[in-house]
Amino acid sequence: MDTDATGNSPADRAWEGGAFDIGATESWLVEAGFEEPPQVDLRTDRAHSARVYDYLLGGKTNFPADREVGDRVLADLPGAGEAATAARAVMHRMVRRLAEVHGVRQFLDVGTGIPTTPNLHEIVQSIDPACRVVYVDNDPIVLAHSRALLSSTPEGRTAYVQGDLREPELFLADPAVAATLDLNEPVALTLINIVHFLSDEAAHPPVRKLLDALPVGSFLALSAGTADTAPDRAEAGSRRYAEAGIEVHMRSHEGVERFFAGLELDAPGVVLINRWHPELGAAPSPGLPDELVPVYGGVGRKV
């Protein structure tokens, strides 16, 4: 992607002055190669889980409604930013292990969120440049950023599809999926920090549909919020999201394990994310204490 004399990309220029400029976004989409920017309602007046998460990560692709929720969460839960960073980091470790140890070369990332370097494809294509990745999200802001910024190596391929986890049949039918992934070969389905925004009744059927669509040898990498480590903190955080119209469903260890029913769990099983292969981090550290990590994660193989 081209940069200006200051080294800023078109996406960076959409954020000049610290505020998101929708008009500038349209211009950098055109500059990035899109003849016509997608016509979407950005709904910036309402908080969105992906943008709140971006704010907790210290990103700038968020709006006042998102920051209001994030500030309330941070006020009630000191350390929420570090927990969000830990949730992002476990995705890096999971896909690195999937590529390095298990030889996976195809990834379907549902609930992508705002692109944050390094992105999933950057991790796996650093291991094998031929890796292929499809990103899926239902936030139009993610759509705009992903199409402009998530560029692949020449040997591999990335694609972005607008879609919702609750309707997997719709995004699986998108031509970009078939053009990017070979569903006759193993695929890693990554569901990072998304299922806790859905009830069991809403989450389990689509997750099962996605796994059923993937061949034997495919993997599920999933992380989900829990109240096991600090019930009071989890309740406070859930309340702040609910006040903004974002439902949150925390799950027990057993509740998270249910997503892996019928799969062969990779070691060390479903554990708090600070305990999931911390040695795979770029800069190993003691990590967060368990009480500040309200998220379980695991990886399972379809057999």
In CATH, what number is assigned to the domain containing residue 126? 3.40.50.150
Give the residue with greater pLDDT, 197 vs 141: 197
**CB proximity list for 122: less than 8 A, separation 6 or greater:** none
Identify whether 204 is part of a domain: yes
Give residue-wise pLDDT tens across range 163-180.
999 999 999 999 999 999
Residue 295's pLDDT is 92
Identify whether 247 is part of a domain: no
The residue type of 94 is: M
Is a pLDDT exceeding 70 seen at residue 15?
no
Confidence of residue 232 (pLDDT cuts 50, 70, 90): confident
Identify whether 109 is part of a domain: yes
Cα–Cα nearest to 141, from 168, 167, 115, 175: 115
Is a pLDDT exceeding 70 seen at residue 34?
no
* φ, ψ for residue 301, nearest 5 deg: -110, 135
Count of CA atoms in the C-beta half-sphere (13 A) of 15? 12
Identify whether 99 is part of a domain: yes
Q: What is the mean pLDDT of the chain?
A: 83
**Before 206, cis peptide (omega within 30)?**
no
Count of CA atoms in the C-beta half-sphere (13 A) of 276? 29
Residue 42's pLDDT is 63
Give the total number of structural domains in the chain: 1
Give residue-wise pLDDT tens across range 213-224.
999 999 999 999
Q: Are 50 and 114 in contact (CB under 8 A)?
A: yes
Identify whether 35 is part of a domain: no
Q: What is the mean pLDDT of residues 208-217?
A: 98
**CB proximity list for 17: less than 8 A, separation 6 or greater:** none
**Token representation of residue 229:** 């480590």
Cα–Cα nearest to 256, from 290, 227, 213, 289: 227
Residue 287's pLDDT is 65
The model's pTM: 0.81
Identify whether 101 is part of a domain: yes
Lowest mean pLDDT among 18-22, 95-99, 141-145: 18-22
- What's the CA gap between 227 and 151, in Å, rounded? 37
DSSP category for residue 58: T
Cα–Cα nearest to 204, from 229, 179, 222: 222
Q: Which residues constitute the domain of residue 144?
A: 87-229+256-302
Q: What is residue 131's three-state secondary structure?
A: coil
Is a pLDDT exceeding 80 seen at residue 142?
no
Angle (nearest 5°) at CA 149 between 66 and 174? 90
Identify whether 238 is part of a domain: no
- What's the CA gap between 252 and 133, in Å, rounded? 30
Identify whether 266 is part of a domain: yes
**Before 289, cis peptide (omega within 30)?**
no
